[in-house]
Structure 1
Amino acid sequence: MGHSQAAKAESRERVLRIAARRIREEGLTRPGVAELMNEAGLTHGGFYKHFASRDDLMNQAAALALADGESKMADAARRNREEPRTGLIDSYLSARHRDTPGTGCAVVTLGASAGRGEAEMKEAYEKQVRGYLELISETAGGDSDEVQADAMLTLSAMVGALLMSRAVADPELSDQLLQTVAARLKRTPVKA
C-alpha cells in the first residue's frame, strides 16, 4: 500500500472510530458529517473519498461500535476466572460503564435506532446480540435450553438496567438500578 493509500486508510479509520464513539454518546441522528470530519482533522469536502453517504458512515460506525462491545465483555468474563458470569455482570453494570457511553456498549445506545433501521443495521445489531448471548451462555458452561433462557434474561436485564441508569435524573436511583439488578442476576442459579 502506497503512502497516500495508507494515509487514506488511516483517515477513514479515524473517522469511523470517532463516529462510533459519537453514536454511542448521542445516537445515530446527532453527529453531522461536518463536525465528524472536523473532529478527525479532515475537511468536509474529503468525506466522499471515504464513504458513499452519511448513512454509509453511520452503518459502518454502528457495526464497529457494536463489535467493540463483545471483546470488552469477553475480557470482563476472563478477568474473573472463578466466576466469569459474575465478572461480566459486574463490569457491565458498573458506574464506570454507565458514565462512559462513548466507549460503552452500543447495544444500549443503538437499540431504538436499530429497531427503526434498515436491514444492514438490524443485522449488525442482531449479530452483536447473538454474540453476547453466546458469551453469556459460555460463562454458564453450557448450551441447554435453560442456559439459553438465562442468557436472554441476563442480557435483557443488563441492557435495560444500564439504559435506565443513564436516563434517570436521581443519582441514587441510578446507582440502585445497577446494584440491585447486578445482585439479583448474580444470585440467580443457572442450570447447565
Structure 2
Amino acid sequence: MGHSQAAKAESREKVLRITARRIREEGMTRPGVAELMNEAGLTHGGFYKHFASRDDLMGQAAALALADGEAKMAEAARRDPEEPRAGLIDAYLSTRHRDAPGTGCALVTLGAAAGRGDAAMKEAYEQQVRSYLALIGEAAEGEAAEEAQADAMLTLSALVGALLISRAVADPRLSDELLATVAERLKNAPAKV
C-alpha cells in the first residue's frame, strides 16, 4: 500500500529536519542512515524513496541547517530596531545558543566539513556566509560600504570563532567569559566612517 504524495513529502521533511539537527550536534560523518530513519519512525528500506544517497541527504540537510541559522540571525537583528547589530551579537553569543548546537548556527559545526566537502557543500556554506555578511553589514549603520563589509567579516569571524571555542572548552567559567567578553568587545567597537 503506497503512501500519498503529501505523506511522502512529510516523511522526507521529517528526515531532513532530524538530519539537520543531528549534523549540527555531531557533524557530517556521525549519523548513519539507519539511525536517522529509525529516529524519524521510518524503515531503512524506505530511505531511497526520498534520497539518492547518504551524500544527497547530508547535502540537503546541511543546506537546511544553514538556512535555519540565517533565519534566526535575521530575527535576532530585528528584535531591537535601534541596535540591530547588538541584538544579533547578544543572541549569537548567548549561553542558550552555545548550549543548543542542534538548533544553532550551522556555520560553527559545518565549517570543517564544508572545507573538505564537494563543490555543492562549499557553495551552500558560502551562500550562508554571504547572507550573514549582508545581514551584519545592514545592521552596521553609518558605515561606508567597503568598511561595513570589512566590519561584517570581522564580526562574523569573531561570532563563529567565539561560539566554537566556548563549546569546546571544558571550564564552564571560561566558556561563559569567552561569550561575554567577545560580545562586549564587538558591541563596543568604535563606529567607523
TM (norm. structure 1) is 0.97
Q: How does 1:146-185 map to 2 (within 5 A)?
A: 146-185=147-186
> Residues 48, 90 of structure 1: CA spacing in aligned structure 2 closer, same or farther, 3 A cutoff?
same
Counterpart position of 1:49 = 49
Structure 1 residues 64 and 143: CA distance shift in structure 2, 3 A: farther
CA deviations over 1:18-76 (Å, ceiling 9, x no partner): 00000000000000000100000000000000000000000000000000011100100
CA shift for structure 1 position 80: 1.1
Cα deviation 1:73-128 (Å, max 9, x = unaligned): 01001001110000000000000000000000000000000000000000000000
C-alpha deviations, 1:148-168, integer Å up to 9, x for none? Answer: 100000000000000000000
The amino acid across from 1:47 in the alignment is: F
Give the secondary structure class of the aligned counterpart of 1:85: helix
Report the Cα distance in structure 2 between the residues aligned to 1:62 and 1:47, rounded to whole angstroms. Answer: 17
Summarize the alignment of residues 1-192 of structure 1 with structure 2, pairs less than 5 Å apart: 4-141=4-141, 144-191=145-192
Runs (5+) with no aligned partner, structure 2: none
Aligned length: 191
Q: Which of structure 1's runs of 4+ aligned residues deviate more than 6 A?
A: none
Equivalent position amino acid for 2:16 in 1? L
Q: Is the 8 A contact 1:66 1:106 kept in 2?
A: yes
CA distance in 1, matches of 2:127, 2:144: 18
Unpaired stretches in structure 1, ≥5 consecutive residues: none
**Once superposed, what is the RMSD of the aligned Cα atoms?**
1.2
Contact persistence 1:133–1:151 (CA under 8 A): yes
Q: 1:3: Cα distance to partner? A: 6.6
Calculate the TM-score normalised by the size of structure 2.
0.97
